[in-house]
Structure formats: structure tokens, C-alpha cells
Amino acid sequence: MDFQQKLLDITEKNHSILCIGLDIDRDKIPRFLFNSCGDPFFEFNRSIIDYTKDLVCAYKLNMAFYEVLGKKGMEVLEKTIRYIPDNIVVILDGKRNDIGNTARKYAQSVFETFHADAATINPYLGIDGVIPFLEYKGRCSFILCRTSNPSAVEFQDLKISKTPLYQIIAMKIKEWNHFGSCGAVVGATYPKELKKIRSILGEDIPILIPGVGKQGGDVENAVKNGTNKDGEMAIINSSRSIIFAGDKEDFAERSREKAMLLRDEINRYRR
């Protein structure tokens, strides 16, 4: 099954375009887990998944939070990916890229070693650094287009022949989509730019939309500007505001409550 069909199927089944970011953080995970189980990081992820798997279309794992833990982190990453139900999209967020030969190894790591459905990648090196990812047909490579951070304007708003760089990147994403494996990363914190990028990409290229929750992106604008005409082909990510909603034994229940509220809010604007 290709990525787009998998995304459409789980979006319909769970009536959701919500993605939860499983960004483990030693300083924020409930302390009791470190005293009550042998693998607190995986136990944290397992509990979040168990309590939210009917509310999401995807889980996104930011590799930095696992890599910082060394070998143990890689074990937790692998165990978590295996634990996620097969019908839910798995996104590995590493924003990888390099020259072609190295990019090929990054792509192999994400798609063959860890068996993710999607990656996030940086387009700065051009097509020869991107194509090793795109050659994995049936997967998706979400290309950084308009990121959610405040200083994104320093480069992404630079004009080339009067056209902002982020729009040129969006045009390139559409051009590079001949394998059908391109996506775009566009922050909810830039709603006007999100609307413009959707108009450039058309109906069928998925957009990964971070920035709601702690970063302050507006849900209504993210949905209305980021989805296609059917209210699909967008993945709205929230991490900290959901997974760290509680710090006691009921942390997973608190996370479910936050996830359900956000899923339902998103769905109010999808039609």
C-alpha cells in the first residue's frame, strides 16, 4: 500500500488528521516511571499509544530525542515503531539530507532499518540530495518548505525574482513529485503562507503541519488552509501539549483527553 492510500484509510477509520509527536524527554516524563519499570521511555510511549491510537492518523518520532540517549534511545525508537499499529502512519523526523551518496544512506536508515512510512528532509542541497529519498516509492518524504519557528523568515522569505524562497521550494516539491512520494512541511504559525503553499501543491500532495499547541498555531487556519477540498491530505502535529499533559499515574488518560479535544476541534473545521 502506498503512503497516500495508507493516510487516507487511517484518516477515514479514525476520523482524524491528528498526529502526535512522541518526543521523549527525560526531564518531562513522569518521574514514577523511572522507579516502577525497567524501560521508562518505552513504557511512556507504549501508554500514550495505547490511549490515543484510535484518535490519530500518525505518530511522529523526532530522532533527536532518541539519539541523545545513545544505544538505549535507538532501542526505544525501534521498539516504539514496532509497537505502533500497522495501519497508523509512522513519521521519522530527522530533517536529513546530504550529498547524494550520504543521502542514500540516510534514506536507507529511515525506510529500511527503521521501516518508517515517512521522513522529513531538507531541500537545501537540491535534487541530488533529495532523490535518494523519493526513490522509495510508496513512502513519503516531507520536504521542509515553511517551517514553524520564528526565525524561518531569515531565509525562507528571501525573494528571488520577487518570489519568496518558500514558494520556490513549494514549486520544486510539486516538480519533484513524479514518483508520488513528496510531501511538504509547513508550520501552522504561518497561515497565509500555508494557504499559498496548498494552492501551489494542489490537492494530492500531503502537508505535515507542526506548530499548533505550545507553538501557538491556530487550529482553524491550519485546517482550512492546509487540507485539500475533501478535508484530507494534511497531518496536524502536536507533541508536548498532548504527551506531557499529566505527570502522575494517570498521565496517559490526561494525554487522551488532550488528544480528543484537539482531534474534535480539528474536525469541526474539516468540512
Q: Catalytic residue numbers?
A: 95
Alpha-carbon distance of 188 to 6, in angstroms, equals 23
Q: Report the relative pairing of strands 118-121 and 207-209 from DSSP bridges.
A: unpaired
Rounded-to-5 percentages of helix, strand, coil across the chain: 50, 15, 35
Asked if residue 99 lies in contact with residue 124, where contact means CB atoms within 8 angstroms, the answer is: no
Q: Rounded to whole angstroms, how far apart are CA atoms 174 and 171?
A: 5
How wide is the angle at C-alpha 87 spanned by C-alphas 251 and 44, nearest 5°?
Answer: 20
CA distance 66 to 253: 24
Q: What is the DSSP letter of 28?
A: T
Radius of gyration of the chain (CA): 18
Bridge partners, 159 (sequence order)? 164
DSSP bridge pairs for 92: 61, 119
Identify which of 165, 219, 175 has the alpha carbon closest to the alpha carbon of residue 196. 165
Max Cα distance, the chain (Å): 60
